[in-house]
Amino acid sequence: MEKDMRESIIRSYSEIAVVQKQSCGCCETGGETPVAAGTAESSFEPDLGCGAPLEHAALAEGLTVLDLGSGSGREVFAAARAVGPSGRAIGLDMTPAMIDLAEKNAAILGVQNAEFRLGEIERMPLPDGSVDRVISNCVINLTRDKKKAFSEIFRVLTPGGRFAIADMTSTAGLPEEIRNDPSRWCECVGGALQTDEYLSAIRESGFRDVTVVSDQADHSCGREGLGLRSLTVTGRK
Ligand SMILES: C[S@@+](CC[C@H](N)C(=O)[O-])C[C@H]1O[C@@H](n2cnc3c(N)ncnc32)[C@H](O)[C@@H]1O
């Protein structure tokens, strides 16, 4: 089951990396649109996020930023610009096709201080205390073990390092048929934890100053009645 869910997520996001499909990706896409490669950053869809974590990430020149579940690289490129040539932005994603797409986009944009790594959030291929900021947009809900994900974020951050994460949670417990449905996971619904449980998992990982900076109801795409929230949370190691 565990392995099937992981493969289903990778399959869905591989399809999205090539052609945007409405079947998955947090319901952000409409119909099918070829993923464009152009010179304007706005061409680098798909935008599969559910918030604006960069607005709360307190980025500054020279910092190292890690984006978890970086997709096409959109937020990595924005972070790379914010930290400047003396800083670095790293995108981590477990879908090879997304890493390929992000690397192509980096080459087209000529971004020098960004890199992309294939790997899982639950087992990050990064040393302890190696990044100053962690950002993520609508991805932690897709991890099977949220506690492990947050303890990994704690591990890779420098002391005093911060995170800003946008994600889907639910105020009510989701019905079992949704929690066990791979297609609902791919829509960033099936894996959404209850909000209290989500915030407890962050605090239990050792983070301080855990703050919900944005909390909005998500009623898109027939999601009414599930108590879904689009949450942005910040915290400090
Ligand atoms: C909903 S998309 C969000 C993409 C991007 N953050 C954005 O806002 O456009 C989820 C991305 O996270 C990746 N992903 C899902 N689960 C992951 C995991 N456990 N470890 C690493 N990447 C993961 C998927 O491959 C996909 O690219």
**Which amino acid, residue 136?**
S
The rounded Å distance from CA 28 to ligand 1 centre is 13
pLDDT on residue 1: 53
Distance CA 51, CA 230 (A): 7
Residue 49 burial (C-beta neighbours within 10 Å; 0-12, 13-18, 19+): buried
Q: Is the CB of 54 under 6 A from ligand 1?
A: no
The upper half-sphere exposure of residue 71, i.e. CA atoms within 13 Å in the direction of its Cβ, equals 23
Q: Is the CB of 16 under 6 A from ligand 1?
A: no
- Strand pairing partners for 232? 166, 214
Q: Where are the domains of the chain?
A: 2-236
| Tokens matching residue 226 | 């599930």
pLDDT on residue 138: 95
Buried b (16+ CB within 10 A) or exposed e, 221-234: eebeebbbbbbbbb
List the chain pLDDT tens, one digit each, 237 residues.
577 889 999 998 998 887 644 444 454 433 333 343 344 443 455 678 899 999 999 999 999 999 999 999 999 999 999 999 999 999 999 999 999 999 999 999 999 999 999 999 999 999 999 999 999 999 999 999 999 999 999 999 999 999 999 999 999 889 999 999 988 998 899 999 999 999 999 999 999 999 999 999 887 766 767 889 999 999 999
| Tokens matching residue 109 | 């944009």
Closest CA to ligand 1's atom 3:
48
Concatenating the DSSP letter of every residue in the chain gives -HHHHHHHHHHHHHHHHHEE-TTSSTT---S-EEPP--SSGGGS-----SS-GGGGS---TT-EEEEES-TTSHHHHHHHHHH-TTSEEEEEES-HHHHHHHHHHHHHHT-SSEEEEE-BTTB-SS-TT-EEEEEEES-GGG-S-HHHHHHHHHHHEEEEEEEEEEEEEESSPPPHHHHT-HHHHHTT-TTPEEHHHHHHHHHHTT-EEEEEEEEEE--GGG-TTS-EEEEEEEEE-
CA distances from 139 to 93, 108, 225, 230 (A): 10, 25, 22, 12
Which single residue is written with the structure tokens 């991805």?
Answer: 139
Give the position, in ligand 1's atom list, of the atom nearest the Cα of 26.
1
Distance CA 170, CA 198 (A): 9
Q: Is the CB of 191 under 6 A from ligand 1?
A: no
Fold of 2-236: Rossmann fold (3.40.50)
Distance CA 164, CA 184 (A): 25
Q: Is the CB of 20 under 6 A from ligand 1?
A: no
Q: Is the CB of 100 under 6 A from ligand 1?
A: no
* pTM summary value: 0.92
pLDDT on residue 18: 78
Closest CA to ligand 1's atom 16:
142
Distance CA 45, CA 4 (A): 27
